[in-house]
Amino acid sequence: MHVHNDEKFLSCRLRFRSSCPFAGRAQGEAQVSRALQDRYSILVHGGAFTDRRYLLGNTQLELIRSVVAHAREELAAGAAALDVVVAAIVKLEDSGLLDAGKGSFRNAANFTEMDAALMEGHTGKGGAVAAMQRLKNPIRAARIVLEKTPHVMFAGPVGEDIMVGLGAESVDDPATYFVPCAAPKRADIGGPALGTVGAVALDRYGHLVAGTSTGGYPGKMPGRVGDTPIIGASTFANERCAISATGLGERFILRSVARDIAMRSEYSNVPLQAAADYVIEELIGKIDRADGAIIAIGREGEIVLSGANIAGMPHGYASWSVDVTVGFALA
Ligand code: ASP
């Protein structure tokens, strides 16, 4: 599958942040310990689709294109990966075109329950929310957890109250604000119709961040929490990579997919793409006969996509060396 890793950018084109006009835009002086580098990458997904008939159309791809183009500009100007990932996911949540935020599917009891997670690699900090019913932007709440609490995950109505108390925006009337996106209901295709969103980014400080947000499956049991808010299952970042996943959440939880990919790559010293292909194609695809996909960025800015048993995944990417590119196909 795709890897873009231009080796010539590996060497020496570093400028020190003391001379950089954008250094003050990073996440905080204490966290900015590296030289400013020329490399930066952004990769965004709009969920894995199991049936070609229901791949989303140009509207969604154009949305992803504009999100990626803006993110690329921000990263080039020295924005922090955390800001870029959150901003990208907020736009997808607000669009109503995908299964996250406004466009979230409803559960079997006909109300919305959303999950989201965020992790930054250089600090090892994570934040997540699960089963949120009225938050406008679950990914912003995940950031609140990461930045303003000593915890990693808040869940359910009490957790939601805490998030609102800490500044998360809630909608007045969830039943009218959340309108399931136009993808088909699960029963129509005998399997999940997905539209989870995610973003991973490498910024010019060498920091990697991953985020994922979803309304989960249409018709899921009330109270069900999927893989999206589980750090290590569908969202993971460290100093070597950032990963966001979409797919059959129960299998992604049980296999700790995102962290497994990261650790296989690190411990076996294999490229991120090879580790992702093994976990997704062999374990999730062949052994589990499940479906799903991941997006990942490595510390050299390489773009990684891998999927199993899916028709496609709307996605877009760009980097210091690759122009904005969008598509469905992973091979
Ligand atoms: N993984 C999500 C979940 O199980 C669904 C998706 O990726 O679309 O909730």
Q: Is 196 a catalytic residue?
A: yes
> Which pLDDT score is estimated for 311?
87
> Which pLDDT score is estimated for 291?
92
> Which pLDDT score is estimated for 62?
93
Our answer on whether the CB atom of 247 is closer than 6 Å to any ligand 1 atom is yes
For 36-83, the pLDDT digits (tens) are 788 999 999 999 887 776 666 788 899 999 999 999 999 999 999 999
In eight-state DSSP terms, residue 35 is P
CA of 7 to the centre of ligand 1 (A): 35
Of all protein residues, the one whose alpha carbon is nearest to atom 4 of ligand 1 is 249
> Which pLDDT score is estimated for 32?
45
> Which pLDDT score is estimated for 142?
98
Our answer on whether the CB atom of 194 is closer than 6 Å to any ligand 1 atom is yes
The residues, any chain, with a CB within 8 Å of residue 207's CB and separated by 6 or more, are: 26, 27, 31, 80, 81, 82, 120, 121, 122
Neighbouring C-beta atoms of residue 218, cutoff 10 Å: 23
> Which pLDDT score is estimated for 6?
36
The token pair that represents 104 in the structure block? 């979230």
> Which pLDDT score is estimated for 194?
73
Residue entry with tokens 């877009």:
316
> Which pLDDT score is estimated for 314?
92
The residues, any chain, with a CB within 8 Å of residue 84's CB and separated by 6 or more, are: 42, 71, 74, 75, 199, 201, 203, 209
CA of 279 to the centre of ligand 1 (A): 17
Cα separation of 146 and 127, whole Å? Answer: 4
**Average pLDDT of every residue of the chain:** 87
For the chain, list residues with pLDDT below 50.
Answer: 1-32, 186-190
Amino acid at residue number 319: S
> Which pLDDT score is estimated for 125?
98
Of all protein residues, the one whose alpha carbon is nearest to atom 9 of ligand 1 is 216
